[in-house]
Amino acid sequence: MKIRIIFNFAATLLVFLLLSSGCTKDFTALNTNPNSPSIAQAAPNMLLTNAIESMTERVDEIFFGHEMGSCWVQHMAKVQYTTEDQYVPRMSVINNTWASFYASSGYDIQTIYNIADATKNDSYKALALILKTYVVSVLTDYWGDVPYTEAFLGSDPTKAILSPAYDTQESIYVALLKNLDDANTLLAATSTPIKGDILFNNDLTKWRKFANSLSLRLLMRRSDRVAPTAAITAIVSDPAKYPIFESNADNAALAYLGSAPNNNPINENRKTRDDHRVSKTLVDQMWTNQPNMDFRLVVYANRVGTGFDGLPNGLSASDAANYKGNGLTKTCKMGDYFTAATSPGTLMSYAELQFILAEAVQRGFVTGSAKTAEDYYNAGILGSYKQFESTILANSVAFGFASKTWVIADYVADYMSNYAAFDPANALNQIYTEKWVAMFDQGVQAVLEWRRTNVPVLVPAVGGQNGGKIPVRAYYPSSESGTNPTNLKAAIARQGADDLNTKVWWDTTNNY
Amino acid sequence: MKKISLLLAFLGFIGLQVVFAQTRDLSGVVTSGEDGSSIPGASVVVKGTTLGTVTDMDGKFTLKVPQNAKSLMVSFVGMTTLEVPLTGSASYSIKLQPESISVNEVVVTAFGITKEKKSLGYSVQDVKGDAINQAKETNVVNSLQGRVSGAQITSASGAVGASARIVIRGVSSLSGNNQPLFVVDGIPMDNANFGGTGTEGTNRGNGAADINPDDIETITVLKGANSSALYGSRASAGVIVITTKKAKKGEKLTVSLNNTTTFETPLRLPDFQNGYGQGNAGQFKYVDGAGGGINDGTDESWGPKLDAGLMIPQFSSPVDANGVPQPSPWISHPNNINQLFDIGVTNSTNVSLAGSSDKSSFRVSFTNLDQNGMVAFTDFKKKTLAFNASTTPIEKLTFSASGNYVYAGSDNQPGYGYDANNVMQQFTWTGRQTDYSLLRQKQHNADGSIFNWNHNYHNNPFMTLKENKNVLRRDRVTGNAMVKYQFTSHLSAFVRTGGDIYSNFSSSRRFVGDMDYPNGYYGESLYLFREVNTDFIIAYDRNIGKNFNFTFNLGGNRMDRVTQSNTGVAPELAVPGVYNVANSAVTPTTSNYFASKRVNSLYAFGQLGYKNALFLDYSIRNDWSSTLPANNNSYYYPALSLSGVLTDLLKVESDVLSFAKLRASWAQVGGDTDPYSLAPTVAFGGGWNASTKLLNLAVPNLLPNTTLKPQTNESVEFGADVRLFKNRVRLDVTYYNQKSINQIVNIPISAGSGYTAKTINAGRIDNKGIEVLLEVTPVKTKDFKWDVTFNFAKNQNKVVSLAEGVEQFTLGSYWSLQVLAQPGGAYGILWGYDYKRDDKNNIIYTNGLPSQGDLKNLGNATPDWLGGMLNEFTYKRFNASFLIDTRQGGSIYSMTTTWGRYAGALKETLLGREGGIVGKGVMSDGNGGYKTNTVVASAEAFNKASYTSDIAYSSIFDASYIKLREIKLGYTFKNSAKLAIKDVNVSLVGRNLAILSTKVPHIDPETAFTNGNVQGLEYGQLPSARSLGFSISCKF
């Protein structure tokens, strides 16, 4: 009895010992993640959906696009927690924006490119080039020199660069324009269908138009540094080779869905916050000559009583709360059109393109143009009105500003005759001003364009904490000083002080 | 006897033999030979048998002994064991003498092995179950507060079922778990933080909170790596070894009953002002509560003066025929916050049954805990069924098993943090004139619309509490079974297997019409956990010659852990009031996660003893972990310790020096990581829910690493245990120094790489410190005894290095403030914005207002030292005790102050309401220099500029406190031979009674924002509970 027990016990222990020491072969299987696909299993279309959503949402994000864009360019103003409107951006926002563009949308786009390149799928490859260009253009335009040639290589099997060097903005622009040209060439030659495209509903022709329109934006943005004539003329003169936006139907705009988390970020913000009002600068521009008015204001702003009143930028929290007795109720909220769940997130519009072309012709960047600057200018205003057509019609009639019989052309005609008739002597000023008005709700691009044009004349925010100036740059993120200090210091040494007033390379104008 | 056998048969123990023999009855009393006091709990055993009993509360015993019994062996901890020859007498008066030379206290160490405390080469501290049972904490972790030197305990709040965090000897891991391993009867118990569905801010408690205080015999705290090396990597932050109650040898069938009923009220609430009501710039008029009147959309209290005879339309005003509110008296409601709280009631009842025969013992216990939370409309329930049994069916073979079933649940737990569902958050943002009693009475108007003081930002708070329920249901089974065989007197072995298996369901609701979720919301999450540990030990114990003793143990363990979670969210509800994921108006989001991990271990350990006075302990352990790369998944770590009882070695016999021991030890502990940290995968995003759902895949921002190595924790420890004046003074001092290197940590990398973080081995954190435990018995007479226990612990934490090129590691951020680890500083730097200052450090004012200055180190969440003082008195049948504990040093960032001042709600905002405020500091003199600020700013403008997230400095406070933690006052009735009922004790008990000292305004500085590594933050604290009540216990 006793011996048997001892024997059994010893046998059990022996088995156990063997199990403990020998049985690590199954560890690899045990430690293989069953919850997520490997990168090899990920299809480009699945990554594409998220990349477009992530990129567009970040551009439209409240703290970035709305507050470091729309507020700084005085489309919007803050009525509560006004520090961002006083040019004190939050470092966490800067960190998050940078990280999101590089590591979230940017790296997803790079992964699409890598897969498409390996599988010889030129459609996805072209889309990845266009999207990467968009992301990197926002990065370089906000910060100046940023990582590009060494970027997105953290898990590269041969290079594995964790601390990428910063490229000059000048060289990045060359690379971005080449990306767009390559994308146009690839798309001209391929018809491989795509899926998962929530921006253009898998229409490759529209992607091609977007690529070339974006080229025009970038060419114009660096036009004070690099003469754009040849490149712009090449695009404008050969629509078959370089198709561009032809109407609002071609707009690069993400149609957000009705419910969270796919709703418009402003809609999501307004569910719990009420911190923003339309800027007095914009309302005064569109409403001063009442009853003559810019009818887009009925889309941009909700009325206060029967009229419109904007909020000055950069008031202190208490001054804003007490503005005109009650800042919250006495100034216009952003129009319902833009706070709706499905309000589109616009990356580039037909109207913007027309103003780019108007400027190009006016400044002589197009040789042999069939259309005049005035043609493009008029098309830009009409395009902008048409972008908001149904809302302009409905609200103007409801508010008693216009007759029921008017069609959109009547509104444009009324506005042009009272406000904006093309004046060759003042053409550039008009083009820039109209572009500023048309780019409402596109805070990021609006403030970038204003930095270049300095039109209209903006008075810096009342309580501005930036030495009496409107910011023309963002600080580098603190995450970079922690993780990539050597390269960051080199970029700052090359570019100038890391503050809100150091101009990026393409910005040669005198801001005030 | 019959009852016992029936019960044991019921429990499934077959083959039990109960001996019926000729017996006779003995009785007696055991007292101390020193002072004559009775000794309860002394063991009385018939020599040469296992028959015996323990003395009752009065030191008395009765015992049936065989007719042929020769003598009794009477023993008690700290007393010399006495052999009492049996005479013809049936009654004995036995005096035990104190043990003056050595103290044979035993403690439970790794693997549940009991050791004499004097032989240990490292510091352990134990807490008896009795000490924490009367004044019960629902969460047992809180019970250790102030009792264990070197343990920092932070409870999350006074919310029902809230978690508590315990850290021993400081934080050693950058991003990993810094809490000790909990081990119950030899089997690890998961102490995870229970979260819930994605968006909710509800504290669901921590795993160790499922341990039932009524079933605890002792809690032994193994503090450092030195004492815990044998538990492996999870023990590098210490081990809390819990031994559950078992029937004592010779214990007759005993039924124990106890009930504790306590009443909870908020310990501290913010001081609100009652001088001014809602509004801005002194103006207010209610029309629709959403901005339609004058400032009636604002949730700030910068409005008109209260109680000044003003008549103003308000939400509660009578309305005219058109529904327009009419002016009504503008008066304060100073007690409006009290409406959020009821008197909480916690009722806990335990009944247990224990008994033993000469071969078997068992105990079963049932505990029912019912709690009505002090936050209105919240509750918590916990039911525990525990059993414990062992039997020796044949000689040398012992089977034992224990098991535990716990149900913990709540129909509603309150929201916390900066979340609209936290009613304390909303309260800071409430017009001070608001009459909450009206809101509590009524949530809807006659037309069905919501009745509330504000319709711009806030819910009616009682809709938040009553409708937005956060439900919890947790079922947990833990247990183990063990078989042990004593081959010879030198050789024994056991095999044991045990598990911890639970399911944790939590759900969170938002009603249709909620301000954050206008279309409603429902989310639920089910977390399943299973960990099974199987281990064995072969133990060899031998005396070599007269002076040496040698032990050697060989053991192994396999740990298998599987976790799984399933989450479902209905972002909007189709049918209001029905909380089901299927009731989603849009595509619901669902996800699941599965993870498994295995660790195999082999170890050897033992002791070499010399003259039972000098001890050398050794251990070595090797782990194989599935989470590490195949070529690096095996790692070993050794430990050594030495202790010498000087008084024994040098044969000191003195009335002054009763005992002296020195000890030293060195240990390493290796560690692994989480499953799936090696290979990259692509993650599922939220999904683009168009008519055809598009899959959202995203490359995660964390770059995995295929070349990870095990992490290492190394420590040394020195200590002394000295007892003076016949043990009246007992001093235990420990110095330790430990460093954690090669940590597996996700370090931030430049986002330009395409990732924001990478998993690597890096960093070093050092903790060194001193722990002192001093026990003194100043008075000891026949009737009266006074014991004082002091404990003190000072830990110095230093982050020595992070990864190459990484200058800061962000643990978490809150508004503009970050909590950091930075080389050279202690873990938990509060990194935020100061005021703008001149070069003489004066605050610079512009137009009378301060502005944001530099980003800098504003403080640190880590305390300088912790301490406790316990006084215990016994006088005849009375006993009393009180416990005071303190935390000194460290900082807290209190957003209650920030937003309470911004909103004009706190008392300090009364300053300057009429005359304005001139800030202390300087302003520009117009020539590039500065002069004294003279500009008057309104109180509203001043507070709003000074107290925002942009200037964190203004809300950083010294987090030191002194608290009256516990009071007990009890009386034990004399047992009567006529009554079956025995050992009746009645006590008044109180916990968390008073903050004796603090520099933090408005809040209890002790409570934490989270149970995780990010400490030093506070907002909208649900106040901690002051608990007072009574406890009754008795036996049959």
Per-residue pLDDT reduced to its tens digit, B789-842: 999 999 999 999 888 777 788 888 887 888 988 898 888 999 999 999 999 999
DSSP state letter for B272: B
Residue B585's contacts (CB-CB under 8 Å, 6 or more residues apart) are A259, B519, B570, B572, B573, B574
For an interface test with B, the pick among A50, A105, A159, A254 (most B C-beta atoms closer than 10 Å) comes out as: A50
Whether this prediction's pTM lies above 0.90 is answered by no
A431 in Cβ contact with A358 (< 8 Å): yes
pLDDT at A12: 60
Which member of B281, B633, B950 has the closest CB to residue A27? Answer: B633
CB–CB contact B697 A257 (8 Å): no
pLDDT for residue A200 is more than 90? yes
pLDDT at B362: 93
pLDDT at B726: 85
Q: How far apart are the first and last CA of chain A?
A: 100
pLDDT for residue B9 is more than 50? no
pLDDT for residue B243 is more than 80? yes
Q: For residue B904, what is the nearest residue in chain A, using CA coordinates?
A: A318
Mean model confidence pLDDT for chain B: 88
CATH number at residue A211: 1.25.40.390
B961 in Cβ contact with B1006 (< 8 Å): yes
Assigned domain for A37 exists = no
pLDDT at B577: 94
pLDDT for residue B699 is more than 50? yes
Query: ipTM value of the model?
Result: 0.89
pLDDT at B696: 79
Instruction: Indicate the pLDDT class of residue B17, thresholds 50, 70 and 90.
Output: very low
Is the pLDDT higher at B297 or at A360? A360
B902-929 pLDDT, tens digit per residue, is 999 999 999 999 999 999 999 999 888 9
B527-576 pLDDT, tens digit per residue, is 999 999 999 999 999 888 889 999 999 999 999 999 999 999 998 999 99
- Beta-strand runs (E) in A96-208: 146-147, 166-167
B971-981 pLDDT, tens digit per residue, is 999 887 788 88
Assigned domain for A352 exists = yes
Which member of B680, B751, B855 has the closest CB to residue A102? Answer: B751
pLDDT at B103: 46
CB–CB contact B754 A482 (8 Å): no
Secondary structure element (H or E) that encloses residue B366, with its range: strand B360-372
DSSP for B725-789? TTTTEEEEEEEEEEEEEEEEEEEE--GGGT-SEEEEEEEEEEEEEEEEEEEEEEEE-SSEEEEEE
A235 in Cβ contact with A216 (< 8 Å): yes
pLDDT at A19: 54
Average confidence (pLDDT) over B929-949: 93
pLDDT at B177: 82
CB–CB contact A151 B754 (8 Å): yes
pLDDT at A328: 87
- The rounded Cα A184 to chain-centroid distance in angstroms is 21
Q: For residue A161, what is the nearest residue in chain B, using CA coordinates?
A: B753
What is the SS3 assignment for B426?
Answer: helix
Which member of A17, A32, A107 has the closest CB to residue B699? Answer: A107
Instruction: Indicate the pLDDT class of residue B744, thresholds 50, 70 and 90.
Output: confident
Min Cα distance B843 → chain A (Å) is 16
Alpha-carbon span B813 to B830, nearest angstrom: 9
CB–CB contact B698 A108 (8 Å): yes
| Burial (CB count within 10 angstroms: exposed 0-12, middle 13-18, buried 19+), residue B541 | middle
Assigned domain for A304 exists = no
User: What is the number of domains present in chain A?
Assistant: 1
Average confidence (pLDDT) over B50-56: 80
pLDDT for residue B72 is more than 60? yes
Average confidence (pLDDT) over B754-776: 91
Q: What residues of chain B lie within 8 A of the CB of A481, using their CB? A: 807
CB–CB contact A31 B678 (8 Å): yes
The torsion region of residue B901 among left (phi > 0), alpha (psi -120 to 50) and beta comes to alpha
Min Cα distance B928 → chain A (Å) is 13
pLDDT for residue B464 is more than 60? yes
Min Cα distance B940 → chain A (Å) is 7
For an interface test with B, the pick among A318, A319, A322, A480 (most B C-beta atoms closer than 10 Å) comes out as: A318
Min Cα distance B538 → chain A (Å) is 9
Identify the weakest region by mean pLDDT among B108-112, B209-213, B891-895. B108-112
Q: For residue B817, what is the nearest residue in chain A, using CA coordinates?
A: A92
Tokens linked to A19 = 């199990």
Tokens linked to B139 = 């969460």
For an interface test with A, the pick among B397, B573, B696, B801 (most A C-beta atoms closer than 10 Å) comes out as: B696
pLDDT at B588: 87
Assigned domain for A291 exists = no
Q: What residues of chain A lie within 8 A of the CB of B598, using their CB? A: 27, 30
Residue B374's contacts (CB-CB under 8 Å, 6 or more residues apart) are B158, B264, B265, B266, B341, B342, B343, B344, B1025
CB–CB contact B556 A151 (8 Å): no
Q: What residues of chain A lie within 8 A of the CB of B516, using their CB? A: 271-272
Q: Give me the percent of chain B exceeding a pLDDT of 70.
A: 95
Alpha-carbon span B653 to B491, nearest angstrom: 35
B199-239 pLDDT, tens digit per residue, is 457 888 888 889 998 999 999 998 877 777 778 878 888 89
Average confidence (pLDDT) over A305-317: 93
Average confidence (pLDDT) over B944-956: 92
CB–CB contact A484 B752 (8 Å): yes
Min Cα distance A509 → chain B (Å) is 29
Containing domain of residue A107, as a range?
Answer: 44-267+339-459+470-495
pLDDT at A7: 54
B348-362 pLDDT, tens digit per residue, is 999 999 998 888 999
For an interface test with B, the pick among A8, A342, A483 (most B C-beta atoms closer than 10 Å) comes out as: A483
Which member of B516, B601, B676 has the closest CB to residue A272? Answer: B516
Assigned domain for A117 exists = yes
CB–CB contact A37 B697 (8 Å): yes
Instruction: Indicate the pLDDT class of residue B898, thresholds 50, 70 and 90.
Output: very high
| Residues forming a β-bridge with B218 | B128, B243
| Residues forming a β-bridge with B723 | B659, B730
pLDDT at B284: 94
A10-42 pLDDT, tens digit per residue, is 556 555 555 554 556 688 888 888 888 888 888
B472-528 pLDDT, tens digit per residue, is 999 999 999 999 999 988 899 999 999 999 999 999 999 999 988 889 999 999 999
pLDDT for residue A45 is more than 70? yes
pLDDT for residue B943 is more than 90? yes
Residue from A81, A124, A107, A91 nearest A273 by CA: A81
A67-124 pLDDT, tens digit per residue, is 999 999 999 999 988 989 999 998 889 999 999 999 999 999 999 999 999 999 999 9
